[in-house]
């Protein structure tokens, strides 16, 4: 039986690939896509989710706009990585349908509370929507199967020396989520920086030979610009699809239970996921934290699923 999921995202190049991977995977039933402000403001992340669904023919997947700003702090965005629109690079068709009229937070609460089967939440952006769900309806804690998120880092951040972008944008929301009692699996930079879209791997996606594959290659090529300049990487890390892949096949990752605390006080280390990798503090093991991914198997999975989309 397919695992029911809600994909909460802020597209974003790698969020777009997470959507495509999730919706082409028979192991998953995507109940809906919810958007949050993050890589770009909410109006753009919502529009981008619709554009990805349009180009992939995912007209049956509803899209819901959520929170337009973090719980406490001002919104920090990443146009320097994703471009002004958030999906710079290839040309997308205009969406032929609007957003669902319901708010993302209301949708998540409704789905979780009335589902007879547990639902997994897969956030690949700031955790503002998920924290808002937990604040508004605490009973979801007993109904959510798991939260599998892309965010955080054991060691170094990418927006500051201490913090990864998704957690930095809304650290207070992240603290609500990690302290909720719901099982959390954290796929952080230490893992996603192993999942590099090298030229050889991109060539295999290009060889699929579909218009969608060409768009994916265009997204990766634009995304590479920032990562080549900043990190000197051979290819950009595909952060967000790693979280989806973890739900599809957990054996792709090496995962260790850890005590994880979110820094919300010090401006110098704001948004740091303080991971007690060696168990020195004896704190509660709040999360399962990924430490490695089998990158070849991950890209084989991604390429195979992208090939399932129609040829036209």
**Which one is catalytic: 13, 82, 227, 239?**
239
In this predicted structure, what is the pLDDT of residue 310? 86
Q: Do the domain assignments include residue 312?
A: no
- The CATH number covering residue 132 comes to 3.90.245.10
Q: Do the domain assignments include residue 229?
A: yes
In this predicted structure, what is the pLDDT of residue 312? 60
Mean pLDDT (the chain, rounded): 96
Rg (CA), the chain: 18
Q: Which residue has tokens 């930095």?
A: 168
> Which two structure tokens, joined as six digits, stand for 252?
């792709």
For 195-242, the pLDDT digits (tens) are 999 999 999 999 999 999 999 999 999 998 777 767 778 899 999 999
Task: List CB contacts of 68: < 8 A, sequence separation 6 or more.
Answer: 37, 41, 42, 75
Q: Do the domain assignments include residue 52?
A: yes
In this predicted structure, what is the pLDDT of residue 271? 98
The pLDDT of residue 311 is above 80: no
Q: Do the domain assignments include residue 311?
A: no
Q: Do the domain assignments include residue 40?
A: yes
Q: What's the pTM value of the predicted model, to 2 decimals?
A: 0.97
Q: Is 245 exposed, middle or buried (0-12, 13-18, 19+ CB in 10 A)?
A: buried
SS3 173: helix
Q: Do the domain assignments include residue 220?
A: yes
Question: Looking at the 3D structure of the chain, how many domains does it have?
Answer: 1
**Mean pLDDT value across residues 56-85:** 96
For 3-40, the pLDDT digits (tens) are 999 999 999 999 999 999 999 999 999 999 999 999 99
Q: Do the domain assignments include residue 266?
A: yes
Q: Quote the domain boundaries for residue 65.
A: 3-306
Q: Are 176 and 135 in contact (CB under 8 A)?
A: yes
Q: Do the domain assignments include residue 156?
A: yes
> Which two structure tokens, joined as six digits, stand for 84?
């002004």
Say whether 239 is catalytic. Answer: yes
């Amino acid at each position: 039986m397919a695992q029911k999921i809600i994909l909460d995202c802020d597209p974003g190049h790698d969020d777009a690939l997470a959507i495509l991977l999730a919706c082409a995977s028979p192991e998953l039933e995507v109940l809906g896509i919810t958007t949050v402000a993050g890589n770009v403001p909410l109006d753009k992340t919502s529009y981008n989710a619709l554009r990805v669904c349009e180009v992939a023919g995912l007209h049956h997947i509803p899209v819901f706009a959520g929170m337009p700003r973090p719980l406490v702090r001002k919104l920090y965005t990443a146009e320097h990585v994703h471009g002004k629109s958030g999906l710079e690079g290839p040309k997308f068709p205009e969406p032929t349908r609007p957003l669902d009229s319901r708010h993302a937070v209301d949708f998540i609460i409704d789905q979780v509370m009335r589902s007879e089967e547990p639902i997994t939440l897969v956030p690949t952006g700031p955790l503002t929507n998920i924290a808002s769900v937990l604040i508004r309806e605490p009973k979801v804690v007993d109904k959510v199967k798991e939260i599998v998120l892309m965010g955080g880092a054991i060691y170094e951040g990418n927006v500051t020396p201490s913090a990864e972008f998704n957690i930095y944008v809304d650290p207070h929301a992240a603290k609500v989520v990690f302290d909720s009692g719901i099982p959390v699996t954290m796929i952080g930079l230490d893992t996603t920086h192993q999942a590099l879209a090298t030229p050889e791997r991109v060539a295999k996606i290009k060889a699929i030979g579909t218009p969608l594959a060409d768009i994916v290659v265009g997204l990766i090529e634009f995304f590479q610009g920032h990562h080549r300049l900043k990190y000197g990487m051979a290819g950009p890390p595909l952060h967000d699809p790693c979280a989806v892949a973890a739900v599809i096949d957990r054996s792709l990752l090496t995962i260790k239970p850890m005590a994880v605390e979110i820094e919300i006080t010090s401006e110098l280390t704001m948004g740091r996921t303080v991971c007690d990798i060696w168990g020195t503090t004896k704190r509660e093991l709040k999360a399962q934290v990924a430490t490695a991914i089998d990158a070849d198997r991950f890209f084989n999975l991604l390429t195979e699923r992208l090939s399932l989309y129609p040829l036209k």
